[in-house]
């Protein structure tokens, strides 16, 4: 099963780099995540900063918004396949924690 997951990721990697519209779509979603992270309260950001690097999330948003041409596609790819899933897991954990309160 792991081998199949690696093949699937490799195919997605090829598709990502060969399709500008796909790159733009992924980039816009990462930008939106950064925009939403900027709306979090300072208290929440401070309380969760050890678990989630909000500053980097907002920083990537700023690169997309203000200097898109300088964005490294490999970094964007890494963010999409590594950082976004980690953020998703963090958010699910936070929702579960809040539901238990």
Span 36-52, pLDDT tens digits: 999 999 999 999 999 99
What pTM was estimated for this model as a whole? 0.81
State which H helix or E strand residue 53 sits in. none
Residue labelled with tokens 């780099």: 17
Q: What is the pLDDT of residues 10-23, one digit of tens each?
A: 787 788 888 888 88
Cα separation of 74 and 13, whole Å?
10
The mean pLDDT value of the chain amounts to 88
**Of 83, 72, 81, residue with least CA distance to 33:** 83
Q: What is the pLDDT of residues 68-79, one digit of tens each?
A: 677 788 888 899
**Of 92, 101, 100, residue with least CA distance to 51:** 92
């Amino acid at each position: 099963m792991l081998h199949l997951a690696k093949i699937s990721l490799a195919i997605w990697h090829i598709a990502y780099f060969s399709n500008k519209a796909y790159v733009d779509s992924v980039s816009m979603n990462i930008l939106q995540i950064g925009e939403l992270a900027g709306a979090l309260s300072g208290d929440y950001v401070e309380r969760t900063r050890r678990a989630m690097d909000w500053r980097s999330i907002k920083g990537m948003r700023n690169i997309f918004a203000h200097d898109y041409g300088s964005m490294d596609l490999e970094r964007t790819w890494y963010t999409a396949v590594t950082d976004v899933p980690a953020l998703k897991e963090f958010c699910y954990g936070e929702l579960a924690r809040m539901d238990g309160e």
